[in-house]
Amino acid sequence: MPEGDTVYRTARLLDDALRGQTLTRFDVRVPRSATVDLTGCRVEQVTCYGKHLLHRIGDYTLHSHLRMEGHWDRYRPGQRWRSPGYQARAVLATETIVTVGFELAEVRVVPRAEEHLLTDLLGPDPLKPQWDHGGLEIAAERLAADARPVHVALLDQRTVAGFGNEYGNEICFLRGIDPHTPANQVDAVAMLRLGARMIRANRDRVERTTTGNRRRGERLYVCFRAGLPCRRCGAEIRFDRLGADATRLRDVYWCPKCQPVVADCGWPGA
């Protein structure tokens, strides 16, 4: 599942492949940017903010979002693609490498001067240096003011940029917080400090783990483990769906013993 750490690694790999090189092909296959041609332009940098990928090319930025299924692949010129061509949304090539973005979301090309408009509404990113220079405090203030379930609030990219469903579930478990608990009833700073440590520890790992165990099936405490015993106490992991609205529901997992219900949290199971 692409979360901030996955996007960070993707940006780093693309930056290693493209930085400083001149494009011999620039093909964006979405209607609003399909006529833009940056062939002949130099790739200045590939970076990210939260879950957003930013290719800085000449005076423009190619912005993309992986969502659930998106991914970028690298190929040698002439090498067969591992995914079907109809799923390709962007193709960038140089004399030595071809990079292809498959099933991307929110693909657009904007002037570099307008790049900030893509990220201005996002919260602080734990993988950016600014997190340690006021970013944590900004995110904590927003989380502490949010009356929605803490799982929902953690996934709101306006609060903190980069956490997805896995981190939301695992942070709640490790803090012993039922995911339905209103965010304004938890220790926001402690939640975010833990989340930042987790995502930073995973940014250089191919396989994300919150347990510290990298074996398949043992990497997570509660996420995707509905009906299975808790790794700590043996109680059966429960499942629900939560979201900002009915169109944005996410799967929620928790241990009823390790994450006790707050009596006045207001959710139906309390």
Query: Which pair of structure tokens corresponds to residue 207?
Result: 């396989």
Instruction: Pick the catalytic residue from 51, 89, 208, 219.
Output: 51
Residue 71 forms beta bridges with which residues?
102
Q: Is residue 159 within 8 Å of 123, Cβ to Cβ?
A: yes
Q: Is 111 a catalytic residue?
A: no
d(CA 98, CA 121): 32
What are phi and psi for residue 199, nearest 5 degrees? -70, -30
Known catalytic membership, residue 51: yes
State yes or no: is 3 an active-site residue. Answer: yes
The CA dihedral of 124, 129, 133, 136, to the nearest 10 degrees, is: 40
Going by C-alpha positions, the residue among 45, 50, 83 that lies closest to residue 65 is 50
How far is the C-alpha of 201 from the C-alpha of 212, rounded, in Å? 10
Annotated catalytic residue within 3, 56, 166, 219: 3
Active site residue 193: no
Catalytic residue (choose from 2, 124, 149, 182): 2
DSSP string, 128-184: SGGGGTTHHHHHHHHHHT--SBHHHHHH-TTTSSS--HHHHHHHHHHHT--TTSBGG
Catalytic residue selected from 9, 108, 250, 256:
250
Structure tokens at 127: 């993988």
Known catalytic residues are 2-3, 51, 250
